[in-house]
Amino acid sequence: MKLGFIGLGRMGSRMATNLVRAGHDLTVFNRSPGRSASLVILGAREATRLADACSSSAVISMLADDEAANDIVLAPSGIVDHLPTGAIHVSMSTLSVALSRQLALAHEKAGQRYVAAPVFGRPDMAAAAKLFILAAGNSAAIDECEPLFRALGQKTTIGTEPWAANLVKLSGNFLLASVIEALGEAVALIGKSGIDPKLYVEFLTSTLFPVPAYKTYGALIAAGKFEPAAFAAPLGYKDIRLALAAAESLRVPMPLASLLHDRFLRLLAHGGDHLDWAAIGGLASQDAYVLGSRRVAS
Amino acid sequence: MKLGFIGLGRMGSRMATNLVRAGHDLTVFNRSPGRSASLVILGAREATRLADACSSSAVISMLADDEAANDIVLAPSGIVDHLPTGAIHVSMSTLSVALSRQLALAHEKAGQRYVAAPVFGRPDMAAAAKLFILAAGNSAAIDECEPLFRALGQKTTIGTEPWAANLVKLSGNFLLASVIEALGEAVALIGKSGIDPKLYVEFLTSTLFPVPAYKTYGALIAAGKFEPAAFAAPLGYKDIRLALAAAESLRVPMPLASLLHDRFLRLLAHGGDHLDWAAIGGLASQDAYVLGSRRVAS
Amino acid sequence: MKLGFIGLGRMGSRMATNLVRAGHDLTVFNRSPGRSASLVILGAREATRLADACSSSAVISMLADDEAANDIVLAPSGIVDHLPTGAIHVSMSTLSVALSRQLALAHEKAGQRYVAAPVFGRPDMAAAAKLFILAAGNSAAIDECEPLFRALGQKTTIGTEPWAANLVKLSGNFLLASVIEALGEAVALIGKSGIDPKLYVEFLTSTLFPVPAYKTYGALIAAGKFEPAAFAAPLGYKDIRLALAAAESLRVPMPLASLLHDRFLRLLAHGGDHLDWAAIGGLASQDAYVLGSRRVAS
Amino acid sequence: MKLGFIGLGRMGSRMATNLVRAGHDLTVFNRSPGRSASLVILGAREATRLADACSSSAVISMLADDEAANDIVLAPSGIVDHLPTGAIHVSMSTLSVALSRQLALAHEKAGQRYVAAPVFGRPDMAAAAKLFILAAGNSAAIDECEPLFRALGQKTTIGTEPWAANLVKLSGNFLLASVIEALGEAVALIGKSGIDPKLYVEFLTSTLFPVPAYKTYGALIAAGKFEPAAFAAPLGYKDIRLALAAAESLRVPMPLASLLHDRFLRLLAHGGDHLDWAAIGGLASQDAYVLGSRRVAS
């Protein structure tokens, strides 16, 4: 399939690589230059202007946050301005429900088709083409994009309202952050009692919770090792805020989400911007003053 | 192996059945009579007095709480009084760390061997011999009990201090209750937005969280169906209290555990004693006033 | 003093009345008409257009929220557009820190002087000219407004940065909402034990807490009576959100503010918009299922 | 009045002094010796054995906690064993509801009269005879003790069930700790914004909250000064635990009390045992990383 791909960050570059390897004809674009070299070697074309990545019948965007998506999609000379009528924009970024609604409206007005398809998975899963993709929007458009999704991971369709995929994505990140907090408190308790936290996490993840989320975050928390960041704390904080913003507009109180919100604020107040979001799982050990637990700011 | 088995409740009766089926020679005892019939048919002997279940070289107890364990094990004419020197008591109940320490001391004084071996798994997993058993204590004793554990599920050894197994068990129930709370809040958010909670839970449990805990509790919460109780709310509340008690004595603040504590109190204040502990996962929907969410007390 | 007064809601109408009674020459304006009659009888002039209330050397605004302030002050044909150079705008509304900074900038650009002077006190205190006024901004301007403040209550100056007054006001409402929550939980405990909550509140407010905040909210909570609203729940919710927004931008985690936030969301989800904000103090009794506690939605 | 006085700690010694000064005939006793010298100079008699302080028609006890009260009152050779029939025991300690019920029962069986009369006020208020006393129990007994209460402060009667006074006392300490937490969060917000916290607290306590609780704790928190302890953190923690224990047995969820509980645990985990309980009001500033905020453990 011939398509544009916009956003070559930690996730986007790995996703674009898999698309090229699967035989798709990609024109890639990134706002800050110098990210395309390895993709070009594999056969992708580099667009120097956004418009050049928007001339096919489909474009994928994978951007950091609402602000970037606003600039790249909605602002003058953005995707909406350049995409041909009838073409599909697959937005795989983690966006707010409110912005997703706006994008849907803008594309509809412009006669384009919009699919929200945010993903679950850290960069290693993106590289391994094992992302969990959550698609919502026009069903014909989703069907046409099937070969793309297949090259990236496993897709589930969640309906025809694009914002629904964004809400489920945000709720999923809330669930993951809840796992981090719960493990953080459990490891603080276990660690201070004198039991080896690593053995503890191994037990948990070979019995009750034999899944990557618990394995990955359990290991990081047991080791108190939160660098380098695979998913940085400010991004995790952003997603919890977006989940809370959606909950506010629906009038849904979420006390555990509020607890996570406060954990992130504390981490960031202490200079944790460069840490993995799993670092909120280290705060319980700090509060318990478990020996060997890292203090973020010292 | 010839042994006694004390406590034929929802879990104990299924466990004893599997032991008999595996060829072990069981003498069973339950404080309130009338629970042994089906076991006797399978070949178990029924003890009418506690002492009669304590004459072999091993006895397993599976009791509801600290109070029962205190009565059955420590009180005059309890297991400690009747068990032969050198014999093994395998305590598979979910007990407090403090009581487990007391039991260890009492058995040591009496020249007996004590193994704490609490289990993870609801009655259906007990019946299927798929319990996760967490053993701690004298290693020779644990080795001797190997055939028993094999008949019940999968065993992990967590060290030589019996209380450690109890603490890990309590921390595990804390993690499970955290899953319930997180799912409860997510389902409230998703449900109020208009997305089908059952589809949502299916998505989660076929991607990020393909494990029984999320499947079981996700399905109950999405359906708002908390009866009959496989694990009743008062037992869940008890375990969170015991986890918090251990955390207090170690001086470990656990805000998520405190949140769970308050959820259980609220559920019980509204007459939720007969519900499954998953019912705390329905409170977020009540708070959000999601249509169709059950009100416990009406 | 000759001045304009904009915003004749529950608070503004009482404040304007006191200003007229103190001999000031008021031109009053309210967006929805029909609120000026009693003021005109007392000697005020009614402006039919906003501009007519902005022709003197000072104008006071008392508006419901950021949105209203934005429309009335910043939007085209707002106060900034109409106020003479050098004139003073005294903004007594409870606004966000962010909007207060914007107003300061806009007035500075327009060569006008801006004083933020939010107030503490419910309508009865406004009527009694017993408001606590918190002024910040240009000190000469504050001095010139002294006679106005004197007619309304007791003034404290908090510095020359207008936003500081708004932040202190928001933090004060956070403290008041904390009083409500604490009293709500205490009354739930006391009430369920069988002690008379009214006697309890009388004891508290004649010993430890002999101040209006505890007396007012204690009486409402003990009686479970939250109508009519002197300060409506949506306004309280708005202020907690603005306090949390300020805390977010400063990276200050406030777990008690988060708890209050969730209490308000729950109250509003159950149709509590018409209740006094003290109604969040009834939720603890609902959770405890104290007999006689009002259920918001039934 | 002739009476015994047991417990000469920070509070008890000041209270006993006021009783002697008011002309009462005191026989004082303290478990660890060397606390009576100044009282003897004023005219009190020193008892070397507990029994000697229990021979009059009344005895007051002012003890640190349930454990001490259990030892001094209930244990063999305690007050219950020594007090004459019909005599009155006025227990002014802050005790659990459960222990207060036990004391009432024990005194009733022994034909003695029991009055619970816990107090509000720090040592300086005890010295100034300005304690708020909360009496509950046999009304004739309370009447007879009127002269004693008058010498100590201001008394309110809360009914005939002694435990009720203890519950109200615990709920009062919960309200005070809530004030500390709320002020702590507000000061973190204000302080990080650059506003002077001392000016802020002065504003609050001269307007909304002109009462000792806000003045005392506000000043300590604004100064970040938590030594020496007038009321030590472990005592505050104990009272929150007792309030939560009462709430548990009544099935009353108190999320703010849970938050306070976790704050205390964290303070104590970091070696805060010697600090005033106001030190939990410093944790919000630590979380926000406000410059100049004290770190408990460094």
Contact B252 D258 (CB under 8 A): no
C265 has a pLDDT exceeding 90 = yes
- Smallest Cα–Cα separation from C112: which of C142, C92, C90, C88? C88
C297 has a pLDDT exceeding 50 = no
Give the rounded percent of residues in chain C with a pLDDT score beyond 70: 97
Each residue of C198-209: pLDDT tens digit?
999 999 999 999
List of chain B residues whose C-beta atoms are within 8 Å of the C-beta of residue D269: 251-253
Each residue of C80-135: pLDDT tens digit?
999 999 999 999 999 999 999 999 999 999 999 999 999 999 899 999 999 999 99
User: What is the predicted pLDDT for the residue at B242?
Assistant: 98
Each residue of C237-255: pLDDT tens digit?
999 999 999 999 999 999 9
Higher pLDDT, A293 or C1: C1
C223 has a pLDDT exceeding 60 = yes
- Smallest Cα–Cα separation from D283: which of C181, B247, B253, A233? B253
A295 has a pLDDT exceeding 60 = no
The total of other beta-carbon atoms located within 10 Å of residue D282's CB is: 29
List of chain A residues whose C-beta atoms are within 8 Å of the C-beta of residue B259: 255-256, 259
List of chain A residues whose C-beta atoms are within 8 Å of the C-beta of residue D266: 287-288
Any idea which residue has 């970040």 for tokens?
D224
d(CA D14, CA D235): 18
The answer to whether residues D187 and D285 touch, using CB atoms and an 8 Å cutoff, is yes
Q: Which residue of A has its CA nearest to B187?
A: A171
Q: At what angle do helices A162-193 and B233-250 cross, to 10 degrees?
A: 50
How far off is chain B from C246, nearest CA to CA, in Å?
24
User: What is the predicted pLDDT for the residue at B133?
Assistant: 97
Q: How confident is the model at residue D297 (pLDDT cuts 50, 70, 90)?
A: very low
List of chain D residues whose C-beta atoms are within 8 Å of the C-beta of residue C256: 181-182, 185, 256, 259
Contact C251 D208 (CB under 8 A): no
Contact C159 D193 (CB under 8 A): no
Residues in chain D: 298
Q: How confident is the model at residue B298 (pLDDT cuts 50, 70, 90)?
A: very low
Which residues of D make CB contacts under 8 Å with B?
Answer: 241, 247-248, 251-255, 258-259, 261-263, 265-266, 268-269
Buried b (16+ CB within 10 A) or exposed e, C173-207: bbbbbbbbbbbbbbbbbbbbbebebebbbbbbbeb
Give catalytic status of residue C2 as yes or no.
no
D91 has a pLDDT exceeding 60 = yes
d(CA B267, CA B296): 7
Each residue of D20-56: pLDDT tens digit?
999 999 999 999 988 999 999 999 999 999 999 999 9
pTM: 0.95
User: What is the predicted pLDDT for the residue at D296?
Assistant: 52
Mutate which: D250, D252, D263, vs C, most C CBs within 10 A? D252
List of chain C residues whose C-beta atoms are within 8 Å of the C-beta of residue D200: 168, 171
Stretch A77-81: mean pLDDT: 97
- Smallest Cα–Cα separation from B287: which of A260, A159, D253, D243? D253
What ipTM goes with this model?
A: 0.95
D255 has a pLDDT exceeding 60 = yes
User: What is the predicted pLDDT for the residue at A290?
Assistant: 86
Residue B111: left (phi > 0), alpha (psi -120 to 50), or beta? left
Tokens of residue D172, six digits: 């009062």
Which residues of A make CB contacts under 8 Å with D?
Answer: 255, 262, 265-266, 269-271, 287-289, 297
Second CATH level (architecture) for the domain D167-288: Orthogonal Bundle (1.10)
A294 has a pLDDT exceeding 80 = no
The HSE-up count of residue B154 (CA atoms within 13 Å, CB side) is 10
**Cα–Cα separations (whole angstroms), residue B143 to B84, B85, B132, B159, C44:** 19, 18, 17, 13, 94
User: What is the predicted pLDDT for the residue at A297?
Assistant: 45
D181 has a pLDDT exceeding 90 = yes
Distant-in-sequence, close-in-space partners of B92: CB < 8 Å, separation ≥ 6: B15, B60, B61, B62, B117, B118, B119, B133
Which of A134, A159, A253 is nearest residue B287 as measured by Cβ atoms?
Answer: A253
Q: How confident is the model at residue A226 (pLDDT cuts 50, 70, 90)?
A: very high
Stretch D102-124: mean pLDDT: 97
Element (H, E) at D27: strand D25-29
Element (H, E) at D135: strand D131-137
Q: Calculate the average pLDDT of chain C.
A: 96
The total of other beta-carbon atoms located within 10 Å of residue B32's CB is: 7
Which of B241, B252, B262 is nearest residue D253 as measured by Cβ atoms?
Answer: B262
The total of other beta-carbon atoms located within 10 Å of residue D168's CB is: 26
User: What is the predicted pLDDT for the residue at C290?
Assistant: 86
Compute the Cα dihedral for D102, D108, D110, D114 and give only its sign. positive
Q: How confident is the model at residue C216 (pLDDT cuts 50, 70, 90)?
A: very high
Mapped to the 3 state alphabet, what secondary structure does chain B carry?
Answer: CEEEEECCCHHHHHHHHHHHHCCCEEEEECCCCCCCHHHHHHCCEECCCHHHHHCCCEEEECCCCHHHHHHHHHCCCCHHHHCCCCCEEEECCCCCHHHHHHHHHHHHHCCCEEEECCEECCHHHHHCCCEEEEEEECHHHHHHCHHHHHHHEEEEECCCCHHHHHHHHHHHHHHHHHHHHHHHHHHHHHHHHCCCHHHHHHHHHHCCCCCHHHHHHHHHHHHCCCCCCCCEHHHHHHHHHHHHHHHHHHCCCCHHHHHHHHHHHHHHHCCHHHCEHHHHHHHHHHHHCCCCCCCCCC
Stretch B156-184: mean pLDDT: 97
Contact A189 B243 (CB under 8 A): yes
Domain-wise residue ranges, chain B: 2-160, 167-288
Q: How confident is the model at residue D290 (pLDDT cuts 50, 70, 90)?
A: confident
User: What is the predicted pLDDT for the residue at D96?
Assistant: 97
C22 has a pLDDT exceeding 60 = yes
Stretch C13-29: mean pLDDT: 98
Stretch D86-103: mean pLDDT: 97
Q: How confident is the model at residue A298 (pLDDT cuts 50, 70, 90)?
A: very low
Each residue of A227-269: pLDDT tens digit?
999 999 999 999 999 999 999 999 999 999 999 999 999 999 9
Each residue of C129-176: pLDDT tens digit?
999 999 999 999 999 999 999 999 999 999 999 999 999 999 999 999
A12 has a pLDDT exceeding 50 = yes
User: What is the predicted pLDDT for the residue at B181?
Assistant: 98
Tokens of residue A251, six digits: 């009038």
Tokens of residue C186, six digits: 């205490």
Residue C56: left (phi > 0), alpha (psi -120 to 50), or beta? beta
Please give the CATH topology (third level) of the domain spanning B2-160: Rossmann fold (3.40.50)
Q: Calculate the average pLDDT of chain D.
A: 96
User: What is the predicted pLDDT for the residue at C298?
Assistant: 37
Coil vs helix vs strand at A277: helix
